[in-house]
Chain A
Amino acid sequence: MNSWNIFGHDWAVDMLINHIAHQGLRHAYLLTGPAGVGRRALATRLAQALNCPTPVAPGVACGVCRTCKQVDAGQQADLMVIQAEAEGGILKVEQVREVQKFLSLRPYQSPFKVVIFLRFQEANASAQNALLKTLEEAPAYALLLLTADNAEQLLPTIVSRCEVMRLRPLTVAGVTEFLAAKGVPPEKAALLGHLSGGRPGYALRLSADEKALAFRADKLDDLRHLLGAKRRERFAYAEKLAKDKDAFRKMLFLWLAYWRDVMLCSSGAQAELTNSDRAEEIESLAYALGLAQARAQTRAMELALERMGKNVNLRLLAEVTLMDLPQVR
C-alpha cells in the first residue's frame, strides 16, 4: 500500500503527490484503464489530498476528517461527481452544463472545486464538445478529473486538453493478495484474482456480491449448453436475453473473456487463463474449434458490445450473436 492507501498504481500516486507538492498540478487529468482498476479511487484520493484541511504531509490527506469522509461519500460541497444515469447509459450535455454552472461560482469552503466525470466514454459527442471550453479555460480553482476505459474512445480534442494517466491492470497475484488482505478466503481470492483481469475494484465488487459469481457461473453454463443446442432453443434464449439489456451486456463481457481464453488455449499461448476454474472445458473447446474459430468468436463478442453501444435492436443483436455460435457437441 502506498501513502494514498490505494492498491497498486504507485507511480501515479507518486506523480500526483509530486504535482501537488511542487505546485505543478494540472487543471485536468484523464485517468484511463479498464473498469474497476482504481480510476475512481485515485480521483477521490486526489480530491481529498487537495481539499483536506489537515493533511498529514504535502499531498497526503488525513482521511479521517469531516471533509475527507464527505469526499469519500461524494457528498462534499466543493465536489461534484458526474456520470451517466446507469452504466452503459449516456452522459448528456445538460450534465455538462450543470458542471459549468457549478464551476462559475468560487469554491464554498475548500481551496479547490473538483469535478469527477466517471466513465466519460459514455458522454455523447455534444456533451464532450460542450466540455471543451471548460477544459480549455477552467478557472484557477477548478480541477477536472475524467475517467474512461481508454483515451481512444474520447474526442481527440478532449484528450489533448488533459494530462493522460494510463492505469494498467495489476498482476493476478497482486489482486489475490489485495483480496486476501481484505479478508476474502484464499481459494475464492485466487479465483477472483484470475476473473478480475487485474482489476482490484472489480474483484472486490465480485467478492462482495454473491449474485455476481452465480450469474457468471449461470451464463458460462448457458454458453456451453447453447453450443450444443438446436436453433429453436437458441432463438428462445435470444428472446429472453433481449428483455434485459444490462444482463445482456454483462453476459457479453463474460463470454468475451471466455472466448479469449479459448483463443489463447488454441494458439498454444502460455498466458494464464482468466476463467481458470473452467480450464478443462476451455481446453476441449479449443481442441474442437481451433484458433480461427475461437478468434472469430472473440471478435464477434467485441462487435456485439460495440453495436450495443450504438443502440441497435437488442432482439436482433441477440439472435445474430447466438446464431453465429458454432455447433459443438
Chain B
Amino acid sequence: MKVTVLQENLARGLSIVSRAVSPRSTLPVLANILLATDDGRLRLSATNLELGITCWIGAKIEEEGSTTVPSRTLSDLVGTMPDPQVSLTLNAQTQTLNVRSGSSTNDIKGIDAQEFPPLPVPDFADAIQINVADFKEMIQQVAFAASTDEARPVLMGVLVQVEKDVVTMAAADGFRLSVRKATLSSAVPQTISAIIPARALNELARIASDGEPSIQMVLPKGRGQVVFHVKDVELVSQLIDGTFPDYQQIIPRSYKSRTLIATASLLKACRQAEIFAREGSNVVRLNIKNSGELQPGEVEISAHSEETGSNETLVEATVEGIPLLIAFNVKYLREVLEVIKTPNVAVETSAANAPGVVRPVGDDDFLHVIMPMHLG
C-alpha cells in the first residue's frame, strides 16, 4: 500500500472512527484502525464489535493494499504532523506502516488486515431516507432516557420503529419514557422494528453534520445489524436482542390536572432546585395551585436538603383541573425540559403517585413520561 493524503483529512477521519476503537479488548486488533485503499479513496475503519465506524477520505493512491495500526499511535502522530501532505507506505512483509510528512518519518507496527473483523457491505438501494436535522433532534430527545444499567440490556437501547411513512423512537429506563415521532418523505413498504444501542445513536448524531440532506438507514436481513450512511461515513451497530417493553401501556390515558407553563421559566426553576436537591435524593416538589376566578394559577417549585438549605420558586401557569402536590426526580425533569424546543410545555398529572406526562405545547410528536417520587 502506498498512498498520499492531506493531514487535515486524515486527522478528521481518525477523530471520527477512533470513537469506535476498544483499547481494552481480548482481541488486540480491535485497538487498531483499518486502513485500506478503496476505489480511489482511503478507507478508515474501527469497530468494538458493538459499534463500527468507517470513514472514506480522498487520497492519491499509488499502490493498493490494507493494514491495521494502533489507533492512539496513529492519531497522536498525525495530530502533530507539520506538513499538509502525509504519505503512508506499507511494508507488507513486516506489517510496518511508514508515515512520512515533511522531514518527519515514522514506522508504526501493525497487525495484518485479515485479522480485522469484516464490516458488512450493505446494499443502500432500498435504504430508508431520513432528514438529518429531524433525525438528530429525535436522537437528542429520546436517547438520553435510555438506561445505563447493564442488567437489562434491552433498556440500554432505543426502540426504532418504521411503519409506512412514520418513524418512531422510544427509550425508557424504568423511571421515565421518551417517545418521539417523525414523518418520512416517502412511505416504506415493510415495517421495521429494532432496538439500537443508545450509544450508537448518540455517536451518529455527533457524526452527522447539519449540512447533509439525509441519512440512509438499512437493516441487512439476518445479520442483526443496522447500518447508517451519511456522506463519507458509515456507522454499523449491532442490534440489541430482546423484546422492548410495551411502552404504550405506560403512557397515561387521561389526566386530572393539566398545567401550561413557560418552558424556560420551569427549566430555570428546576436548575435552581437541583442545586439543593442533588445533595439529598434529587427530589423536587411541584405544588400545583389552581387558577381561581380572579387570580392566575401558579406552580411552586421547591427543593430542600438537610445540609445545604432549601429553595422555592414560584412560576406562573395556567392550571386546568385539580390542585396537586407531586414530587419528581429533578434530574429527569431538567433533562426533558432541556430538549423541548417549544416556548410552552404542558405537564399532565393525576395523583401524587401516578406518572406525569410532559408534552411540548403545539407539537404532538413528542411526549415524555416521568414516574413520581415519594413525597416523604
Contact = CB atoms under 8 A, between A and B. Distances in A.
A108 B153 contact: no
A105 B50 contact: yes
Nearest to B114: A66
A106 B150 contact: no
B309 interface: no
Q: From DSSP, what is the main secondary structure of chain B's interface residues?
A: loop
Interface in A75-128: 75, 77, 80-81, 97, 100-101, 104-109
B224 A107 contact: yes
A326 interface: no
A104 to B, nearest CB: 3
A105 B151 CA distance: 13
B114 A106 contact: no
Given A77-B49, A100-B150, A106 B26 contact: no
B238 interface: yes
Contact of A75 (B26, B153, B239): B26
Contact of B117 (A74, A77, A100): A77
Given A74-B26, A75-B27, A106 B224 contact: yes
Contacts of B376: none
B150 A101 contact: yes
Contacts of B239: 105-106
B26 A139 contact: no
Nearest to A130: B151
Contact of B26 (A66, A81, A105, A141): A81
A281 to B, nearest CB: 46
A108 B238 contact: yes
Contacts of B223: 106
Interface in A262-307: none
Contacts of A70: 115
A139 B241 contact: yes
B275 to A, nearest CB: 35
B27 A77 contact: yes
Contacts of A100: 150-151, 153
B241 A106 contact: yes
A101 B153 contact: yes
A133 to B, nearest CB: 10
B362 interface: no
B292 interface: no
B225 interface: yes
Contacts of A77: 27, 49, 117
Given A75-B27, A77-B49, A101-B153, A106 B238 contact: yes
B224 A104 contact: no
Contacts of B49: 77, 105, 108
Contact of A108 (B26, B117, B151): B117
B49 to A, nearest CB: 5
A105 B238 contact: yes
B26 A104 contact: no
A75 B26 CA distance: 7
B241 A105 contact: yes
B280 interface: no
Contacts of B224: 105-107, 141
A97 B153 CA distance: 11
Interface of B: 26-29, 49-50, 114-115, 117-118, 150-151, 153-154, 156, 197, 223-225, 238-242
9 interchain residue pairs of minimum CB distance: A106-B224, A104-B153, A105-B238, A77-B117, A139-B241, A106-B241, A108-B49, A77-B49, A75-B27
